[in-house]
Structure formats: C-alpha cells, structure tokens
Amino acid sequence: MRVNNVVTKMQANEMAFGCNFSFPSTTLIELASMAGFDFVTFDSEHGPFTVDMLDDLCRLSSMAGLTPMARVPNIEDSTILRFLDRGIMGITGPHIINGDRAKQLANACRYVPRGKRSFGSGRGAYYGNFDSGPAYMEHTNNNILVIAQLEDVEVLDNIDDILSVEGIDLFASGAQDIAQSMGLQGQPNHPDVQAFESKVRDIVHAAGRKMAEDVMASVRAANLFLDGCKSYLAQSRS
C-alpha cells in the first residue's frame, strides 16, 4: 500500500522536499520525480483542479514515487472526501480559526477510530482490492498528513483550542490572508504580519507541535519556470 514520503521523512528526522502546483501538468509532475522531489502539492483552493484531473494527477504521482498532497478549497467532509478518494495523502485545510474547525478538518481526513472519513472503493482505496479492511484503514490513517492553515487574526484568540485537537499533524501560515485580516491587504511582508506569524510559530513550538516548514520545504512550479527563464534571459542578454 502507498506510503507517505513526508511522514517517512518526518519519522527519520529528515526534511522532505516538494513542488507546489497552482495548475495541472502531468509533464511537470514527471519532471519533479526525475529531479528527486518527495511530494507534490496541488493548490485546489485557488487552482483549476477538477476531480477527474486530480484522479490522473494522483495516479501519475503515485507511479512516479511522489506523494500527492493538496490544499482543499474548504473543509466540508464531502469536499475532503473527494480528494482522499482520488488518492491524495496530505490535506491542508485553509482558514482554521478555532478548535471546532480544526476538529472538523481532522475528523474528515481519517477513518474511525481516529476520524469520521467515509469509506469508498475508488482508486484512493485501491478499488477495494486489499486483504484486510481494518489493516487498510490503519495503514491509511497512519499515512495521511493533516495540516491546519492558520491565516486569520482570530487564530490568536483560539490558539489553545486549536492546538488541543488530536489529528492535526502540522500547522502552516498564510501571510497574504493574514495581512488582509489585519487590514494590511497586499502587504504580506509588513512587520505586523511577520510579528503575528512569529508569535503563532512560537506558541506552536512551545506546545511541542510543529509547523509544516519545520519538516517540509516546497517550491512553486511557476517560480521554477519563471526564475529559470529570467536567469537564462539575463545571461543571454549580458
């Protein structure tokens, strides 16, 4: 059964490296595998990813030895289930502002007894082709990574409740939306935004928890292309 490369690296105290896609591209996923990345992430909150696209993208990722992960557009059970049933092995839930939303995210991502995920016999569950249902569910629960994105000013009012929720593996920031929630729209590098991120990070670490950036690093596929092109053009024109 599929193993989550990020979880494996975390258990070995190693950093995992990935590529973040805001658009679908099977060719770039293949190249990401050839380059040696551990995972790919599909930004389905903002990117144009349909369910059938995700099915093929997850299929190719798995065949290429990459762990497919995604940021979902919302944390409704039905939304997250459609991603997991495609074969997504890591879910980032946006705008986790309190303990209730953190619990909703955690419950949607794993099977009983660690969550409330519904069972379906699609490709995410090997089309039902396994010897033991309990063994499959336990293995899958252990290989799903759940990330709560803390990107709203309200987070600090509820941070203790959020951190008390079982089933959240990592926490992530989101400077652009933090800036908006602070009335600093379009200013993700503003000192107040950076101070907010630093404070949240310190609280997470003090609670013995980890930020996503502590265990995984990712680069945007668009930036790999743009930065490479800009470098090439600069060198060619000099």
Just list the catalytic residues. 46
| Residue where the block lists tokens 């945007």 | 220
What's the rounded Cα separation, in Å, for the pair 119 and 137? 9
Q: Where are the alpha helices (DSSP H) in 110-150?
A: 133-143
**CA distances from residue 146 to 16, 71, 94, 108 in whole angstroms, order as listed:** 15, 10, 11, 10
Per-residue burial over 191-205, b if 16 or more Cβ lie within 10 Å, else e, is: eebeebbeebbebbe
CA 60, 104, 213, 16 torsion-angle sign: negative
Whose structure tokens read 């290989």? 143
| Neighbour count for residue 92 (Cβ, 10 Å) | 24
C-alpha distances in angstroms, 154 versus 78, 160, 192? 26, 12, 15
How far is 44 from 73, CA to CA, in rounded Å? Answer: 6
Show Cβ contacts of residue 232 under 8 Å, excluding neighbours closer than 6 positions. none
